[in-house]
């Protein structure tokens, strides 16, 4: 009888199933894939995978126990097309272009003479 109680206690203490965590983005890039690998290493009890948004099935067709982690505006738009589906966390990523970054860097790191000239009023 004691073994039966111990078995029941252990069964109740153990998780019934591992969570399925699906990371997705419209852009398939090495950084997100590396993040998914690192997350999988930190959560060995869960099934963590990265799947590009183009290959992801509709949100209402995903398993209800799954958890979605979406990156970017396109992924958010995709998720909002179907109100039904698993719990979802969205990280909106800002649009980043090298041209925009160069313009910001030039404005932030202007020469002193140019900064003084910009500060003068006519």
Contact predicate 79/58, CB 8 Å: no
d(CA 103, CA 110): 11
Mean pLDDT (the chain, rounded):
75
Q: Which ranges constitute the DSSP H helices of 14-119?
A: 30-42, 73-80, 98-108, 112-119
pLDDT grade, residue 81 (50/70/90)?
confident
Q: How many CA atoms lie within 13 A of 72 on its CB side?
A: 15
Domains annotated on the chain, with CATH: 17-95 (3.40.50)
Percent of the chain residues topping a pLDDT of 70: 61
Q: Which helix (H) or strand (E) holds 38?
A: helix 30-42
The segment with the largest mean pLDDT, out of 1-10, 18-27, 85-94, 113-122, is 18-27
Give phi and psi for 57, each to the nearest 5.
Answer: -75, 170
The predicted model scores a pTM of 0.62
């Amino acid at each position: 009888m004691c073994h039966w109680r111990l078995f029941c206690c252990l069964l109740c203490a153990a998780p019934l199933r591992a969570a399925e965590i699906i990371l997705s983005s419209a852009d398939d890039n090495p950084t997100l894939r590396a993040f998914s690998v690192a997350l999988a290493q930190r959560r060995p009890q869960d099934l963590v995978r990265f799947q590009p948004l183009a290959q992801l099935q509709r949100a209402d067709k995903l398993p209800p126990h799954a958890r979605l982690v979406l990156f970017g505006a396109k992924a958010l738009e995709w998720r909002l097309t179907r109100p039904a589906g698993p719990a979802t966390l969205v990280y909106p990523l800002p649009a980043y272009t090298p041209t925009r970054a160069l313009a910001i860097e030039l404005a932030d790191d202007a020469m002193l003479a140019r900064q003084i000239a910009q500060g003068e009023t006519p």
